[in-house]
Amino acid sequence: MSLVEINFDGVVGPSHNYAGLSLGNLASARNARQVSHPRAAALQGLEKMRANLRLGLHQGLFVPQPRPAHQWLAELGTTLERAEPGLRANAMSASSMWAANAATVSPAPDTADGRTHLTVANLRTMPHRSHEWHATLAQLRVAFRDERHFAVHGPVPPAFGDEGAANFMRLTEQHGQPGVEVFVYGLSGGPFPARQHLEAFKAIARRHRLDPERTLFVQQSEEAIAAGAFHNDVVAVANERVLFAHERAFEDKGGFLGELSSRFPSLEYVEVAAAEVSLDDAIRSYLFNAQLVTPPDGRTTLIVPEEARETPSVWAWLQRHLAGNGAIRRVEVVDVRQSMANGGGPACLRLRVVADPATVDPRFLVDEVKLDRLKDVISREWPESIHPDELADPRLVSQIEAARTALLGALDLSELR
Ligand code: SUG
């Protein structure tokens, strides 16, 4: 088979909880200390994958990480029982579900050695995410271990923050053809941290052996970060020739679009004006944290969360766009409310990898039969609910550990324990 886009979704882990850990992520702050529903969350994630399969898309998954993060706590000289609640929450987060932050991926047609390069993200800005990379790297090294086709890199040194593909876009005629890679960094976010640093992305572009002529570094607008767009994928998304973005997404929109269209003349830029959808509505609804995909029928499709349908300005914009035969030809709605309440929409939950599926470890690829099997495991093993005060409860901790072990068993991935 030729190169296709495969979406790898993070399975929502059994410790999914609302601890309000992400400064600058408004949903995380708003829902801090709410009761979470890990089982419902993981089942919502599976149904999203199923919907993608039914559109004819290729689908993969990543498994949840070991929680509690015993190793990290040990490095900090403590244990789950002894740690104070803040640290404990950082060791119990299920945040690796947001696979868009797992790595940055440069597909084979863009790299000098003709291999797909992946750099695991260091996620150093947020403590609860800073320890994800070890288990993510272990997983990438299994899933993409065929060195004829893939090069998997360790993290960029933590001097420079890197949040992976959430700040990355690629424009191309077709996924399997060479593209222009766009790296979006933050300089300042007003009261909030700019999590993606330019130096980290420059390092990644060098390591991935990209052609400088087809590589762009673009500053995310400070206004967008300050309004709650802690990653660029909250205000922009690209697929093949289409770039779909909010008017206020980039610091120097004119300069960026000029550069991009000179390097990629067939660009179709679809802008949502602030006068039609405010930055606040865009961020609340996650209109742009959508999966923009090309199913086999060729109709560019936007997969949005329910919250987009519930935000009147956003839904009206989409209806107008569809009626006017714009670049987006179809809108699909998915329910990922449990993830959304922590600031993770449909696009956060997936990492895009352009590859020949036959070169990927098949245990990371899914079909409906495998999803049914996972549904059984999750329905049986995942906690129904978690209150943040329960995070050190030994019974809950054993259930969380046993649940993950059961999932790895069902996927024949026990080596990742
Ligand atoms: O890093 N939320 C994640 C959401 C990541 C979304 N990813 C993309 N935009 N691609 C984050 O802020 C919340 C955890 C908590 O508060 O319990 C959290 O980590």
Cα(262) to centroid of ligand 1, in Å?
34
Residue 24 is given by DSSP the state T
Mean pLDDT by 10 residues, the chain (417 residues): 93 98 96 98 98 98 98 98 96 98 98 98 98 98 98 98 98 97 97 97 98 98 98 98 98 98 98 98 98 97 98 98 98 98 98 98 98 98 97 97 98 96
User: Average pLDDT of the chain?
Assistant: 98
Q: Which tokens sit at 230? A: 């802690």
Instruction: Find out whether 255 and 189 touch, Cβ atoms under 8 Å.
Output: no
Residue 356 is given by DSSP the state -
**What angle in degrees, to the nearest 10, is found between the helix axes of 368-381 and 38-54?**
170
Instruction: Give residue-wise pLDDT tens across range 104-130.
Output: 999 999 999 999 999 999 999 999 999
Cα-flanking dihedrals φ and ψ of residue 133, to 5°? -65, -30
Which distant-in-sequence residues (6+ apart) come within 8 Å of 273 by Cβ? 247
Instruction: Find out whether 138 and 131 touch, Cβ atoms under 8 Å.
Output: no
In angstroms, what CA-CA distances link 75 with 78, 85, 173?
8, 17, 47
**E-strand spans in 252-349?**
268-272, 291-293, 301-305, 330-334
Instruction: Give residue-wise pLDDT tens across range 192-211.
Output: 999 999 999 999 999 999 99
Closest of 21, 8, 6, 13 to residue 408, by C-alpha? 13
Which distant-in-sequence residues (6+ apart) come within 8 Å of 372 by Cβ? none
Cα gap 193→24, rounded to integer Å: 7
Question: What pTM does this model have?
Answer: 0.98
Q: Centre a 10 Å sphere on the Cβ of residue 417 and count the other Cβ atoms it contains.
A: 10
Pocket test for ligand 1, best of 95, 163, 386 (most atoms within 8 A of CB): 95
| Ligand 1 proximity of 28 Cβ (cutoff 6 Å) | yes
Pocket test for ligand 1, best of 7, 8, 22 (most atoms within 8 A of CB): 22
Q: How many domains does the chain have?
A: 1
Its domain, for residue 312, covers: 4-416
Cα gap 230→227, rounded to integer Å: 8
Q: Which CATH number fits the domain that encloses residue 66?
A: 3.75.10.20
Ligand 1 atom at shortest distance from the alpha carbon of 195? 1
- Determine whether 152 is exposed, middle or buried from the number of CB atoms within 10 Å of its CB (0-12, 13-18, 19+): buried
Percent of the chain at pLDDT > 70 equals 100
| The pLDDT value given to residue 118 | 99
